[in-house]
Amino acid sequence: METFGLIGVWAYLVAATVAEVIVFYAFPASTLVNTSIGVLAASKAVLIVLYFMHLKYEPRSIQILIIPPAFLVVVLVLTMVFSLPH
Quote the pTM value: 0.71
In the prediction, which pLDDT does 2 show? 65
| Helices (H), ranges, the chain | 3-26, 31-47, 60-64, 67-83
More confident residue, 71 or 56: 71
Instruction: Provide the percentage of residues in the chain whose pLDDT is more than 90.
Output: 29
Domain boundaries, the chain: 3-83
Can you tell me whether residue 86 is helix, strand or coil?
coil
